[in-house]
Structure 1
Amino acid sequence: MNVTKLAGAVAATAITFGIGAATIAPASAVDNIKPFGNQVRMLDSNGFPMIGYTVRDLSPSSDPVPHNGQLYEATMTVDAFGGVANPEIQRFNARAENRAMYRLLTAAGIGGPVQPGGSATGKLYFEVVGEAPNSVVYNDGTRDVIAWVPGPPEGGTRP
């Protein structure tokens, strides 16, 4: 799936309904679309980098995490710039091409404060009960602010 096709799918409005952990909700255009493996930096009110998120490797998981559907995982690295960063892990969701959204089930190795200049890497887990997800999104409660999609990382190499 290319980035243009994903942006069009995400921008479409869908009917709200629930099926287990999956929901389709009204969607809006994603502010920032990046291939998996790229860091996106969130800025503070002065425009300085505050926290960086890098998501990669969304795939089925066999980790021993309690779930009912198919378990998926994505690796995430959180970097702190300037001050202590408090990752907002609960804002991450997996999304399928049909716009089904799978909320974060749990996270391992990330989620607590990251000290200035520090980094934490762990896994995000999603319980999938429908179409397989192909992207991970950061949603601010109203819209998808960031989406990581398949494709080579910018610069052509993986960090």
Structure 2
Amino acid sequence: MRKFYRVAVLIAMTAMAGLSFAGVASAAEDCAHRFGSHQQVRDGGGLQDWSVTDLKESGDVAPGFPVAGQLWEATATVTAISGTSTPVIPNFNAKTGGSSYPVLWQVASPQGISAATLAQGQTSTGKIYFDVTGGDPKAVTYTAGGAKPLMWCCSEAMMAMPTDECTCCADMKEPCPCCAGMM
């Protein structure tokens, strides 16, 4: 009986430790504006869920578009949460501490995200491109006419951006608490 009790206590302690670590990990992953986070925006009668990841210099070609600087890319995913939804690709910008680079929505690339209307539950994933003629971008924004744009900005490289450029951190004197451990 004593052996059973020890095993039961050990199992309970292991389960509690696992839950504690899971809570810490999910708190770090729940940052509303971290690359990879899901953010929602209304589109007419529908609701879209967007996620942006992997902002980096691109090795792709921009067919039919004369790039003036360095081509950058990010991967965007959109899901129609409710109703039909049309992704508005021109709403994206890449941002540095002081410059903004509009998305090259007119680039017809096989890797690019489709702007085709999605039925409820459908998802589209692809690249979005930016012609960067100055400093390296640190964030990607999506402006849909609301008070604040959606923004993805937090990773080790992105924390070099001033906090007043981050819509989630603009009123803070210190870096965003959900990104503080990333510096």
Length-normalised TM-score, structure 2: 0.58
Query: Which has the higher relative contact order, 1 or 2, with Cα contacts under 8 A spaced 6 or more apart?
Result: 1
Amino acid at match of 1:58: L
Judging by fraction of residues, say which structure has more helix.
2
In the alignment, the residues of structure 2 paired with residue 73 and residue 148 of structure 1 have an alpha-carbon distance, to the nearest angstrom, of 14
Structure of greater Rg: 2
Structure 1 residue 121: deviation in Å?
A: 0.1
Deviation of 1:139 (Å)? 2.1
CA 1:128 to 1:76, structure 2 compared with 1: closer, same or farther past 3 Å?
A: same
For 1:89-100, what aligned pairs fall within 5 Å after superposition?
89-97=89-97, 99-100=98-99
- Paired AA for residue 90 in structure 2: Q
Q: Distance in 2 between matches of 1:141 and 1:116?
A: 22
- 1:126 corresponds to: 130
Structure 1 gaps, min length 5: 1-31, 155-159
CA–CA distance in structure 2, aligned partners of residues 142 and 77 of structure 1: 20
Q: Which amino acid aligns with 1:82?
A: S
Distance in 2 (CA, whole Å) between partners of 1:59 and 1:50 is 28
**Residue 140 of structure 1: CA displacement?**
3.6
> Taking structure 1 as reference, are residues 117 and 140 closer, same or farther at Cα in structure 2, changes over 3 Å only?
closer
Structure 1 residues 100 and 112 mapped into 2: Cα distance closer, same or farther (>3 Å)? same
Deviation, 1:82, is 1.9
Deviations 1:82-129, CA, capped at 9 Å, x for gaps = 2111111111000012x2000011361321111110100011100000
Residue 88 of structure 1 is matched in structure 2 by 88
For the aligned residues, what is the CA RMSD?
2.6
Q: Which amino acid aligns with 1:137?
A: T
Matched, 1:51 2:48: yes
Question: 1:112 aligned to 2:116?
Answer: yes
Number of aligned residues: 119
Quick check: which one's strand share is greater? 1
Which residue of 2 is the match for residue 42 of structure 1? 41
- Name 1:74's counterpart in structure 2: 74
Q: 1:84 to 1:141 in 2, by over 3 A?
A: closer
Correspondence for 1:150:
154
Q: 1:90 is paired with a residue of what secondary structure? A: helix
Task: Name the SS of the counterpart of 1:81 in structure 2.
Answer: strand
- Unaligned runs of at least 5 residues, structure 2: 1-30, 157-177, 179-183
